[in-house]
Structure 1
């Protein structure tokens, strides 16, 4: 762990000296008091009721000329409780380990990375995809995973009238379930409107999908979605919510209601979040999340660097 962090510091320090290149060290520190369903009240870092996972990452980019660029991104999770690595999969760099090459034609990337379905939901989700966001904790991201291993993906360039799309593929030989997978999104982001369609499918399985949209009036935003998780235990339903800003304070409320749930009864889940911005990089938050009749609470502070 110590050797890895020293290597990160060396990479960051050497970035300024690289011709046509840059290397950036970044991260998140997030900790607070949490009460998870069935557990005691305690300090929490990188839990469901933290705004986000504490992390440390390094990313780099090189300009190859002619509009062509190549880059990489490695990211690891950590706990502020004891300094231990927090796994989001196998390996030290389990949050992200990828490289990419891109130009005016779009971007091609390879590695472990956030799924296209995740980005499709992020285009409209009200809290900015917090750990306690309602959609992910109820239906997943387009019914699928947050991240994919061994993903090949292509993303269209920005500037297509607000539209973009990404499609990813994981070969059968790279899958822990020994199944190939495709994962895709279509996003529209233009002015006050953000919308996304997420879709993913394992070979031999059924297609999971999610369609959502947000309209931002300025100090107030509303969002709604319909979600269908069909691979495994079938669960479908909709969400509707709003976000209001009062100066440095923001409050968000979100509700999810099942229409179909083969795993049990149909649930009504909800989230209430309050945030106060102390600066552009630091804010305090309080949140309550009810998922499938289980209540969870969190109060914390987050700093981005």
Structure 2
């Protein structure tokens, strides 16, 4: 009898522990008919003129008690053209492979992940939800940087009255002998969002961007200044807006070079139309004028 009671207690404790953990499979399926200047018309999946990159991911979280949680996120890209893996510059889990600890003190993350510059620009003023064809990153990068860092250590504060900040660091040994830092400060409260993002590789120059947007209800207006100082210098302004008509939305976004050391100063332009078929599925039509080229995409995106 005593052994039976002990066994029941162990099973109950095990059930409670399992109830405090969860693992979720998620993904995106996105395919489009693309016309990129200089290329033949083709089915696009993860190309410049798709809304997003098709992907599969798994994430989990465990409640450790006392307000402390642990979690992970692994994510890989894939092509709907032939089923090939799309690595986003890393290995098989090139889109995300990290572990985190979090609580009311903030979140500490380790591994390959989207970086603070990406979160600053996308959360502060970018209008398309970080679509592959967005004119901001195609012109200036994410505050002059790529969207992800490998071997990244980062800390993000909790939101305090709409304000939050994130700081990331990559050691010399993990970044070709030159350490890197990446940071943002973000404000998001009600109709207003604004941010500043910056990043720097040791021995290089500091890249940065700042801007904001305001949601009037049926119209969203955004503006920013973006500067890529490291490498081939490019910097300039962006202004754009999104008009909302129920399930339909139209976005127009323009960038203009103030300086472009690669040569000619360009005015780039995005025009996007989206129609929501449900909360998880929408169709889109986009045209991108990028550095003198004309590019188009017509596609469907489903989130699951």
In the superposition, the TM-score normalised over structure 1's length comes to 0.93
**1:232 alignment counterpart:** 231
The number of residues matched between the two structures is: 289
**1:207 alignment counterpart:** 206
**2:70 alignment counterpart:** 70
- Where do 1:94-109 residues align within 5 Å? 94-109=94-109
Partner-residue secondary structure (3-state), 2:46: coil
How far 1:72 moved relative to its partner?
0.1
Measure, in 1, the Cα distance between the counterparts of 2:269 and 2:101.
40
Measure, in 1, the Cα distance between the counterparts of 2:153 and 2:37.
38
Partner-residue secondary structure (3-state), 1:72: strand
Measure, in 1, the Cα distance between the counterparts of 2:40 and 2:18.
50
Give yes or no for the alignment of 1:292 onto 2:291: yes
How far 1:178 moved relative to its partner?
2.5
**1:125 alignment counterpart:** 126
Aligned-residue Cα RMSD (Å) equals 1.2
**Cα displacement string for residues 237-276 of structure 1 (whole angstroms, at most 9, x for unaligned residues):** 0000010011111000000001111110110000000000
Give yes or no for the alignment of 1:190 onto 2:189: yes
**1:252 alignment counterpart:** 251
- Listed as ranges, the gaps of 5+ residues in structure 1 are 1-14
- Where do 1:38-49 residues align within 5 Å? 38-49=38-49
How far 1:188 moved relative to its partner?
0.3
Partner-residue secondary structure (3-state), 2:38: coil
Measure, in 1, the Cα distance between the counterparts of 2:73 and 2:20.
17
Measure, in 2, the Cα distance between the counterparts of 1:54 and 1:178.
33
- Listed as ranges, the gaps of 5+ residues in structure 2 are 1-14
Measure, in 1, the Cα distance between the counterparts of 2:17 and 2:154.
31
Distance 1:180 1:101, change over 3 A: same
Measure, in 1, the Cα distance between the counterparts of 2:73 and 2:165.
21
Larger radius of gyration: 2
Measure, in 2, the Cα distance between the counterparts of 1:193 and 1:216.
7
**Cα displacement string for residues 195-215 of structure 1 (whole angstroms, at most 9, x for unaligned residues):** 111100000111000001000
Partner-residue secondary structure (3-state), 1:187: strand
Give yes or no for the alignment of 1:279 onto 2:284: no
How far 1:132 moved relative to its partner?
0.5
Partner-residue secondary structure (3-state), 1:93: coil
**1:3 alignment counterpart:** none
